Copies of this chain bind each other. A is one copy, B any other.
Amino acid sequence: MTTTLRLGLAGLGTVGTGLLDLLASHTGLIEERTGVSVAVVAVSARDRKRDRGGHDISRYEWFGDPVAMAASETIDVFVELMGGEGDPAKAAVEAALKAGKPVVTANKALLAHHGTAFARLADAAGVALNFEAAVAGGIPIVKTLRESLAGNQVRQVFGILNGTCNYILTKMADEGHDFADVLAEAQALGYAEADPTFDIGGFDTAHKLALITSLAFGTEVDLESIYIEGIEHITLADMRNAANLGYTIKLLGVSVATADGIEQRVHPTLVPVGSQIADVDGVFNAVAVKGDFAGELILEGKGAGAHPTASSVLSDIADIARGTRVSTFGVPAAKLKPYSRARMRAHEGGYYVALELFDRSGEVAAVARTLSEEGISIESIVQRAPVSTGGGTTGKRRTAPFILISHDTLESAMRGALERIEEEGHAASKPRMIRIERL
């Protein structure tokens, strides 16, 4: 006789339907692997009548209210696939944990905002709060950080965590199309939302990074402290200049332990061509972790999609079926350290700088002098032929694109130098910089 693990499934969108697909395909396999029969017994969704990819949901108990389902006696595990940082997801997860039911969720926004509080509730109830699917889709990064690296102090973790951005940047690099054109194409194909801000502005990446940071460093979740820059200002010219200098541009989420705290940042980044992270193309995600004993680990896979995400949800359910419980963020919630934010300006690394210098004698020398005075040394320079731009009331002007790659320097020094270059009137437009990770 086999025991049954009864799932209450809230949310029957892409991922919820993907989970029904998975359970329909692999019931026997899962029972063999976990020793337990895993079955959905109750569901909740906004619309009871909508088609669910051919799945007959009438055989499950229906709950109009997911909060009621979460606390119901008829389920053993609450599977939250509704999304959203507020209610009903928040109230439902709270209700499940308070009722002593393990929770599996794919909801990054919910945990990025309320992760620490929920970890405390899970500990109080002594139940699992698993969220493999909330970060990087089908990639087992949560389990790797939470379990496989148990004997490591993590030094650094970074990743490509948003498939929409990576698709856009890959297309720009490979096909030489402008940001706006590729975005429109991605929207037409359903790879980007009608309002793409959440993805291209870096906010989705930041949600995932907040969870990764807590897992890696044992700190309370702190979404608010993340420095965020999106990809909307990356031009095709940047992409081409980077390529000429041996780099490609990726949107990275980076979290590093420094002497004065943890630095979390999301921004476009130049990564060297030929590095593993540079080769992560299209909708793939990748996460690189550096542990003091394991050394560098890189995990790459599908970062989104119904089936990869469902695979991660099932992995979390299988752990519960086997009776495994690991603390939400790797250590008991009571031991999570208050997040200590490193001063952003302490970040040290190389920079790509794009200047639009006036085509006048002495400008290049002045810029070089300013950089040198700020202690910035230059690795390589690309200067292009002057072009005429502008017009209208400002009149036409001749400017020359001037691109440089710096050696490692403090961000404060680079910001200072660029402010001076701007103030001293050498550049026709605001200087732009993109960080470099030499990985």
- A residues near B (Cβ < 8 Å) are 18, 21-22, 25-26, 29-30, 32-35, 132, 138-140, 143-144, 147-153, 218, 274-276, 279-280, 291-302, 305, 307-308, 310-312, 314-315, 317-319, 322-327, 330-332, 335
Contact = CB atoms under 8 A, between A and B. Distances in A.
A37 to B, nearest CB: 14
17 contacts: A18-B293, A25-B292, A29-B151, A32-B331, A32-B335, A33-B331, A35-B332, A138-B291, A138-B294, A138-B297, A150-B315, A151-B317, A294-B307, A294-B311, A295-B301, A295-B305, A297-B300
B327 A33 contact: yes
Nearest to A132: B148
Contacts of A144: 140, 143-144
A31 to B, nearest CB: 10
A151 B308 CA distance: 10
Given A32-B331, A292-B25, A148 B315 contact: yes
A79 B325 CA distance: 23
Given A132-B148, A295-B302, 19 more contacts: A22-B151, A22-B293, A26-B153, A32-B331, A138-B291, A140-B144, A143-B148, A149-B311, A149-B315, A151-B311, A151-B315, A275-B279, A276-B276, A276-B280, A293-B308, A294-B301, A294-B307, A296-B301, A298-B298
A132 B301 CA distance: 21
Contact of A152 (B34, B139, B311, B331): B311
Given A148-B143, A279-B279, A300-B276, A153 B29 contact: yes
Contacts of A322: 324-326
Contacts of A332: 32, 35
Contacts of A296: 301-302
A307 B319 contact: no
A147 B279 contact: no
A319 B307 CA distance: 28
A314 B35 CA distance: 26
Contacts of A310: 151, 293
Nearest to A299: B299
B298 A300 contact: yes
Contacts of A294: 138, 301-302, 307-308, 311-312
A298 B295 contact: no
Contacts of A295: 138, 301-302, 305, 307-308
A291 B274 contact: no
A140 B148 contact: yes
Contact of A30 (B30, B138, B139, B150): B150
A327 B332 CA distance: 26
Given A32-B218, A33-B331, A300-B298, A318 B150 contact: yes
A311 B291 contact: yes
Nearest to A26: B151
A26 B292 CA distance: 10
A319 B25 contact: no
Contacts of A34: 150
Contacts of A312: 148, 294
A314 B298 CA distance: 19
Contacts of A153: 25-26, 29
Contacts of A315: 147-151
Contact of A279 (B274, B302, B330): B274
Contacts of A311: 148-149, 151-152, 291, 293-294
Nearest to A324: B324
Contacts of A327: 33
B298 A301 contact: yes
Nearest to A310: B293
A143 B151 contact: no
Contacts of A305: 295
A297 B297 contact: no
Contacts of A307: 292-295
